[in-house]
Structure 1
Amino acid sequence: MLLAGGAAAQARQEEPVVSIAFVGDILLDDTPGKVIRSGRDPFAPTASILDAADIRVGNLECVVATGGTAVPDKPFTFRAHPRTLPVLKRHFDALALANNHSGDFGPGAFREMLDRLDKQGIAYFGGGRTLAAAHRPLIIERKGLRVALLSYNEFFPRSFEADADKPGIAWSEDEQVRLDIVTARSTHRADLVIPVMHWGWEHEPLASERQRQLARVMIDAGADAVVGGHPHVTQDVEQYRGKPIIYSLGNFLFDGFSDADNNTGWILRLELDRRGARAWRTFPVSIDQEGTPRPAPTLGAACWTRGQSEAAICKGD
């Protein structure tokens, strides 16, 4: 039976809508770790934005463990204390592990982190105890919609990659990424698929041709949106075939930078229904000297809704 125009519009309005808050790089070592050790919560200033979403996702830019040895000849290695995990659990439902710091203290420390995340009840994706597990999508169901999250790293060292019998992260190869997206729908029965990428060149405000090419590969394979990070700055946004591509969210909880662009990040709120992304907006944050992100509405926010040709500045921000 066909619905009349008004009834059809009402049915569309009653479709389930799931919101996801994405943030960029989270570093729990160094000064942010000291903030937590002092009993303070560095996520508190942005908690109201995060908690307004049905699902909260971040990129964990460090290993959380007590064991392991720092990888030699790597200029920066990050290892956070396990005391940080209860604070992380308070604010995030899932963490992307596919990045260039997850393996900083070797596969043993990475395995220890997985055990600790499991014990704490924090879901993760883009990393696992085997290669197959690292490429397996994390399925989160909300309001009857099954959302698949995948994550891949494109920044060396590739030695952090998982193997058949070694824990580690998922490395980005076009054919495997394409297959993972297809499999997320066909085998894991996902309604929506979102890859979270660790890619691009550091400190570059515009996405590279490689980022643009791979984003199109993923959307052609069935991704509903693409979200990225790693450059330590926010980058441009695009849409392809009506699907949003946010190339870099920049830093989120991170210290050690003095330039304003490195201390500016976005919280991305993405709203999805069964047809894919229906709207998104960014919430700018400024990162203080302790690495704590704080809302910064004066920096302006971007908005997009399905059918718009490009993002606009949000009114009232």
Structure 2
Amino acid sequence: MLDGIPGGAIKAGRNPFAYFARILDSADIRIGNLECVIASRGRGRPERKPFTFRANPDAVNVLKGHFTALSLANNHTGDFGRAAFSDMLDLLEAQKISFFGGGRNLAEAHAPLLIERNGLRIALLGYNEIFPRGFEADHDTPGLAWSEDEQVIADIRNARSVHHADLVIPFMHWGIEHEHHASARQRQLARAMIDAGANAVIGGHPHVTQDIEQYKGSPIFYSLGNFVFDGFKDEDNNTGWLIRLEVDRSGVHRWQLYVARTDREGIPHPVSPRPRSCWQRGQGMKTVCGDSGD
């Protein structure tokens, strides 16, 4: 979320991702959830909701330095209307930052973002199911990909059968704010996505971290909590996770978790330079976790 105090830090020439730059920049693919609109249009005409976030276009330059792709599927990228949203798409494309979970029409919003690295074809999908639903894309209208179970399942299957993806990873904006455990709704859909062919599920929105589950050998991170985000006082709201996945054609064979603590300016700092490392062993795909120095 690059408005507010983090936006002020960017305006002053600071980089809110600086403390995680080494970890981010060492990855082949770097993905984030963009929890605001970045635009020059729309100022003064926000949606009628308690909180609206609009970042200065200069924020795109900071994102370009650290991210390969951004999910737009959340309840804030539509805060200043469709003109501002379209501005953001233009800005991201001009800086060659890929995006998914939103687009200029319904088909583009639901299309997988395909990234090829080291011989692997990876499909990224994004969905929002936090109201208001009014910013959903239509056949000829820009907006977000809304989370409807049948459509989500169809998109995952199409990513494999039509787009020939080796791996499929959906990013979900879901759950109940400030709840530390995933809801029955989240668990049902996450497992259905893996049954349909997803290799991992990554979620956000509750503003706290939630539980991690392994289902049929695939990890589900129900909520990564807050990363760059100001305005919270409690420690659980100022804690987030950066997840590093190691993948091959069989799926995720190892993952690492870095804990972030957000300061008063909404800027995250690593709690430790050493991640919590987890990997899968044996035919039963048991998860083994421990501290790692790599």
> Do the two structures share a fold, i.e. TM-score over 0.5?
yes
Aligned 1:253-292 pairs, distance under 5 A: 253-292=228-267
Tell me the TM-score normalized by structure 1.
Answer: 0.89
Checking the alignment, whether the CA contact within 8 Å between 1:269 and 1:280 is kept in structure 2 is yes
Q: 1:76 to 1:299 in 2, by over 3 A?
A: farther
Cα distance in 2 for partners of 1:276, 1:104 equals 35
User: Are the counterparts in 2 of residues 94 and 122 from structure 1 also a CA contact under 8 Å?
Assistant: yes
| Partner of residue 167, structure 1 | 142
Q: Which residue matches 1:112?
A: 87
Tell me, in whole angstroms, the C-alpha distance in 2 between the residues paired with 1:268 and 1:64.
25
Indicate the structure whose relative CO is greater, using CA pairs within 8 Å and at least 6 residues apart.
Answer: 1
Secondary structure at the aligned position of 2:116 is classed as strand
Q: How many residues align?
A: 291
Paired residue for 2:35, among 37, 48, 61? Answer: 61
Q: Secondary structure at the match of 2:206?
A: coil
Aligned partners of 1:72 and 1:196: how far apart in 2? 24
Q: Which residue number in structure 2 is paired with residue 38 of structure 1? A: 12
- C-alpha separation between the residues in 2 aligned to 1:301 and 1:41? 25
Question: Aligned residue for 1:22?
Answer: none
- The amino acid that maps onto 1:32 is P
Q: What is the TM-score with the length of structure 2 in the denominator?
A: 0.95
What stretches of structure 1 move > 6 A for 4+ residues in a row? Answer: none
What SS is found at the alignment partner of 2:227? Answer: strand
**2:214 is the alignment partner of 1:239:** yes
What's the offset of the Cα at 1:52?
1.4
In the other structure, the counterpart of 1:183 is: 158
Q: Which residue of 2 aligns with 1:314?
A: 291
Partner SS, residue 134 of structure 1: helix
Query: Counterpart of 1:146 in 2: which secondary structure?
Result: strand
1:182-201 alignment, distance < 5 Å: 182-201=157-176
Q: Is the 8 A contact 2:281 2:288 kept in 1?
A: no
Structure-2 change in CA distance of 1:143 and 1:72 (3 Å): closer
Structure-1 separation of matches of 2:273 and 2:32? 23
Query: 1:284, 1:299 within 8 Å by CA — same for their partners in 2?
Result: no
Larger Rg: 1
Map 1:290-305; keep pairs closer than 5 Å.
290-297=265-272, 301=276, 303-305=278-280
Does the 8 A contact of 2:105 with 2:141 survive in 1?
yes
Gaps of 5+ in 2: none
- Identity score, percent: 64
Aligned match for 1:127, one of 93, 96, 102: 102
Between the aligned partners of 1:85 and 1:127, the Cα distance in structure 2 is: 17
Q: 1:96 aligns with which of 62, 71, 96?
A: 71
